[in-house]
Structure 1
């Protein structure tokens, strides 16, 4: 019996950074998640946004920039590609004219991705995509924990009368019963609101909400230890919205 070698990112000494495959970290690609421990998958969608479009180009641009990433973490010595089989499986073929249909397409795609235990690392895409992904994950694992790093809580009741949008995914997820609300934390929410109690709804559901002011001028190591304790050893969905970064770093 032979052991299949683990896929490795294409290194900068093997191929110049500006060449090679246009995949995440220049990893091998395959059409499905079969045989993988983890996979990168893109959702090139921005039809759920209410202001500025453009995140449909996110997966492609993230892959382009990822050619600069090296496979070892020099601070932690983590070496994921030495113990996990990882590949880029391309993008979910959304319907760019129909948001409710996109939600169902994404859920169906993720059912297939995770059916044999593969862990998807998603490149977005506007934040609407979290709701259909969570539906698929909860079907397999039951209600999951949530680590949500964002400037916004994304728990609106509706946006322009629509229940599905980039500002509503975690309200819909709570209503659908796909989140373990005692294991949900939102980190970095900030800015102005429509009402003084804008962040109260998730707290009322059991979420821990850490506003950005609580993160300033201090180490976040103690907070991360608390998050690990809160999540325990059960499944967790981690989502990071780029606007959690200060606008001086990520304008637009």
Structure 2
């Protein structure tokens, strides 16, 4: 019987302690043997107005410590059926957007080579393009519908 990774529960470790990973799941060096993985891309060098998105992966992971491993309303318990871990962050080049895009594409090619589904914690919108390049290289043509609303930058 396969033992799947489980988020660290609040009864085992206070929610303010434990690993700083998504949902306090184990951190893995590679995607080998996983069904899905969390990958952070702490980047905001592609933004035009408001830097700070580089702090997104860390903030998302921090807030995720409050999530439960199952949905109380639906009973869905993905960690009972999927092997999931946190791969940490892609080490981008903070001073070179083009190079960072190449680094992200290569990182995702490696992740995807294991047949895993990556779940990205970002970063500015630029990171979507190099990830889609890697997905295209692995699975063929892809499409994207991007819905984005910035009520915080307009008066109406």
Instruction: Pick from 143, 146, 149 the counterpart of residue 147 of structure 2.
Output: 149
With over 3 angstroms needed to count, the CA separation of the structure-2 counterparts of 1:72 and 1:123, relative to structure 1, is same
CA deviations over 1:99-155 (Å, ceiling 9, x no partner): 00011000000000011210000000100000000000011111124343311xxxx
Between structure 1 and structure 2, the one with the greater Rg is 1
Q: What is the alpha-carbon root mean square deviation over aligned residues?
A: 1.2
Q: Are positions 1:55 and 2:59 aligned together?
A: no
CA deviations over 1:220-242 (Å, ceiling 9, x no partner): xxxxxxxxxxxxxxxxxxxxxxx
Alignment correspondent of 1:30: 28
Matches within 5 A, 1:87-102: 87-102=85-100
Q: Are positions 1:118 and 2:123 aligned together?
A: no
1-side partners of 2:26 and 2:93: how far apart? 26
2-side partners of 1:53 and 1:18: how far apart? 27
Instruction: Pick from 62, 65, 68 the counterpart of residue 67 of structure 1.
Output: 65
Higher relative contact order (CA 8 A, sep 6+): 2
Structure 2: 5+ residue stretches without partners:
none
Instruction: Pick from 62, 78, 81 the counterpart of residue 80 of structure 1.
Output: 78
1-side partners of 2:135 and 2:117: how far apart? 10
2-side partners of 1:129 and 1:95: how far apart? 13
Alignment correspondent of 1:14: 12
1-side partners of 2:4 and 2:111: how far apart? 19
1-side partners of 2:34 and 2:148: how far apart? 29
Q: How many pairs does the alignment contain?
A: 152
Structure 1: 5+ residue stretches without partners:
152-242, 248-252
| Larger strand percent | 1
1-side partners of 2:30 and 2:114: how far apart? 11
Matches within 5 A, 1:1-252: 3-151=1-149, 243=150, 247=152
CA deviations over 1:139-196 (Å, ceiling 9, x no partner): 1111124343311xxxxxxxxxxxxxxxxxxxxxxxxxxxxxxxxxxxxxxxxxxxxx
Say which SS state the counterpart of residue 148 (structure 1) adopts: coil
1-side partners of 2:87 and 2:148: how far apart? 26
- Give me the TM-score of the superposition, normalised by structure 1: 0.58
